[in-house]
Amino acid sequence: MTSGPRQRKDPVDAIIEQWAGVRPDLDTRAMEVFGRIFRLSRAMSDRMEAAYAPFGISRGEFDVLATLRRAGRPHTLSPRQLSAALMLTTGGMTGRLDKLERAGLLRRSPDPHDRRALQVTLTEKGLHLIDEAVGAGLAAQTEALSALDDERAGQLAALLRELLAGTPQTHR
């Protein structure tokens, strides 16, 4: 990939140049794309953690609350549904649910339709918190995306959608 006239070099450019010096036979286009995606993901992960910290939650805990919020009223899912939606093991989910329940942000109760199962429901406190936290997270993402104009941001979203759709997904 070539840089446009207004683009400045980034750390991935230095890596690509080093590979070109020692292995000029390599086609490093994929490395250029995914190296930047990985670095951007790490930087945005840090930003999102900082955005959610004032609410006393981590990004992973945000994901649980947001999944329940998006489920619509009564904001209830089974632990299995949450695990599947978040691509987590049930053990990983249990730790998050324990912490969020202790904080009063959700409650677990028996499933009225299956005595062997539980359901997880967002509390009013959790509903208010997630509605505020999602705004803070979106503000952090919007700030980062402001490096692109609306047209280029739309193009990037479309390209990433296409790339994601064409990439086989593996889940833990």
Is the per-residue pLDDT at 1 higher than 50?
Answer: no
DSSP-derived 3-state class of residue 27: coil
* Number of helices and strands in the chain (H, E): 7, 3
Cβ 161 vs Cβ 155: under 8 Å: no
The pLDDT value recorded for residue 134 is 97
pLDDT tens, position by position, 56-97: 999 999 999 999 999 999 999 998 899 889 988 888 888 899
Residue 2 has pLDDT above 60, yes or no: no
Alpha helix stretches (DSSP H) within 23-149:
29-52, 59-70, 79-86, 90-102, 124-145
Name the pLDDT band for 9 (thresholds 50, 70, 90): confident
For residue 111, list its beta bridge partners: 114
CATH class given for the domain over 46-140: mainly alpha
Q: Where are the domains of the chain?
A: 46-140
Nearest partner of 64 among 47, 84, 45, judged by Cα: 84
Q: What is the pLDDT of residue 169?
A: 76
Looking at every residue in the chain, the average pLDDT score rounds to 90
pLDDT interval class at 103 (50, 70, 90): very high
Distance between CA atoms of 158 and 13, rounded to whole angstroms?
24
pLDDT value of position 139: 96
Contact predicate 64/81, CB 8 Å: no
What's the whole-model pTM score? 0.83
